[in-house]
Amino acid sequence: MKVEFKWGVRGFSGYADDAVYMYNRRLKKSYMRLYTYPARNPSADRAKLVMANLKLLQPSKGFKLNYYDYMLAFNELPENEYRQMLCWNNLYLRVMYAMQKRVLGVDLATLTRQDIYDRNLPCITVKAAVEAGYLPGVKDYERFDKLI
């Protein structure tokens, strides 16, 4: 939910009246949501396993920088003006889940770095992910070729 303040209050973040207020400097927007204690979700256990395994892959520094540079170019696209990515790992997760959906035999909870190299999966570089259709093409995406 977008929040509009009458008196030009900028940058207010915190809790007030059972709600959480957040301000994003990059987007110059405030958001509000009601504070609720999260309910236990059985599918969260699977997500926890997937996230722990993706962390164990330990992407290289050059790979992370490629994703960061891609994110900046992605945010410059006119169609992404109102849905910008705020951090590189959101794009990384988008690629991984798209790959799991399209490539048979890929399970993110058990995927290893060696599996990525052996099967030459499209998540091996940002360039390969763009060419596989997991990410939209941006200008000069060919330069993002650092291995995971």
Judge whether 93 and 104 are in contact, CB under 8 Å.
no
Residues 16 and 50 both lie in one domain: no
136 and 68 fall within a common domain: yes
Q: What is the pTM of this model?
A: 0.72
pLDDT at residue 10 is higher than 70 = no
If one compares 24 and 118, the residue with the highest pLDDT of the two is: 118
How confident is the model at residue 131, as a pLDDT? 93
* 54 and 27 within one domain: no
Query: What range defines the domain where residue 15 resides?
Result: 1-37
Are residues 50 and 31 located together in one domain of the fold?
no
Band of pLDDT at residue 141, cut at 50, 70 and 90: confident
Same-domain status, 16 and 53: no
Place of tokens 């035999």: 105
Q: Are residues 73 and 20 in the same domain?
A: no
Rounded-to-integer distance, Cα 107 and Cα 3, Å: 40
Q: Note whether residue 139 is domain-resident.
A: yes
Whether 53 is in a domain gets the answer yes
Residue 12 above 60 pLDDT? yes
Query: In angstroms, what CA-CA distances link 101 with 39, 41, 67, 73, 109?
Result: 27, 22, 21, 25, 13
Distance CA 148, CA 138 (A): 20
pLDDT in tens, 60-117: 999 999 999 999 999 888 888 888 888 999 999 999 999 999 988 889 999 999 999 9
Whether 2 contacts 31, CB under 8 Å:
yes
β partners of residue 20: 15, 33
Q: Which residue type occupies 57? A: L
